[in-house]
């Protein structure tokens, strides 16, 4: 009768881990093709606009109409943080109350892959960044705050 040898062998563990890492590196993140073929109503609304969607300055009710309810919302000091999951991408929004009318408005956002393994792939959520007017780099932040 065969009894498997279940002893830990470091060399085997390293080889097995290597195969797992290589295989996971071959997976692709959300792409323009994924967004094009998605049946998500949110993606459909984002793609329906001929121009990039300007989130900075958008009121909270307009964000809700566009993106639906956030997957996560919490109060962070004076800001409201919202995370919307859109076809493998996380859209992080920060809303502050407008000084004039007190309504919460988007003042900052970032787009990132939900899967941490895709964090180094700059193109993973490029389609969403393009629909929202581009990535929020430090140069873009400076541009938005000075205009």
Question: What pLDDT sits at residue 99?
Answer: 86
- Per-residue confidence (pLDDT) for residue 2, from 0 to 100: 52
Return all residues near 51 (Cβ < 8 A) that are at least 6 apart.
none
Q: Options 1.10.260, 3.30.1450, 3.40.1710, 3.40.50; which CATH number does 52-147 get?
A: 3.30.1450
Q: Are the C-beta atoms of residues 78 and 104 closer than 8 Å to each other?
A: no
Question: What are the extents of the domains in the chain?
Answer: 52-147
pLDDT digits (tens, 9 = 90+) for 133-144: 854 555 554 444
Determine the pLDDT at residue 28: 47
Across 29-33, 49-53, 82-86, 117-121, the highest mean pLDDT is recorded for: 82-86
Candidates 55, 64, 57, 121; CA nearest to 89 is 121
Confidence of residue 24 (pLDDT cuts 50, 70, 90): very low
> Where do we find the tokens 């991408």?
89
73-120 pLDDT, tens digit each: 999 889 999 999 999 999 999 999 988 888 999 999 999 999 988 888
Query: Is the pLDDT higher at 49 or at 63?
Result: 63
User: How much is the pLDDT for 49?
Assistant: 84
Q: What is the pLDDT of residue 20?
A: 39
Is residue 50 predicted with pLDDT exceeding 70? yes
Query: Which residues neighbour 82 within 8 Å (Cβ) at sequence distance 6 or greater?
Result: 63, 70, 72, 73, 92, 93, 95
Q: Is 45 helix (H, G, I), strand (E, B) or coil?
A: helix
pLDDT score recorded for residue 89? 94
């Amino acid at each position: 009768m065969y009894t498997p040898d279940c002893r830990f062998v470091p060399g085997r563990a390293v080889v097995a881990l290597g195969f797992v890492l290589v295989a996971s590196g071959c997976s692709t993140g959300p792409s323009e093709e994924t967004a094009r073929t998605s049946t998500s109503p949110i993606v459909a609304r984002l793609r329906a606009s001929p121009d990039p969607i300007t989130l900075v300055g958008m009121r909270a009710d307009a964000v809700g109409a566009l993106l639906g309810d956030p997957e996560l919302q919490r109060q962070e000091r004076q800001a409201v943080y919202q995370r919307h999951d859109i076809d493998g991408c996380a859209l992080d929004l920060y809303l502050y109350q407008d000084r004039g009318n007190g309504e919460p408005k988007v003042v900052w956002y970032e787009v990132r892959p939900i899967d941490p393994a895709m964090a180094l792939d700059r193109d993973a959520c490029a389609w969403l960044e393009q629909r929202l007017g581009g990535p929020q780099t430090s140069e873009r932040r400076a541009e938005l705050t000075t205009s």
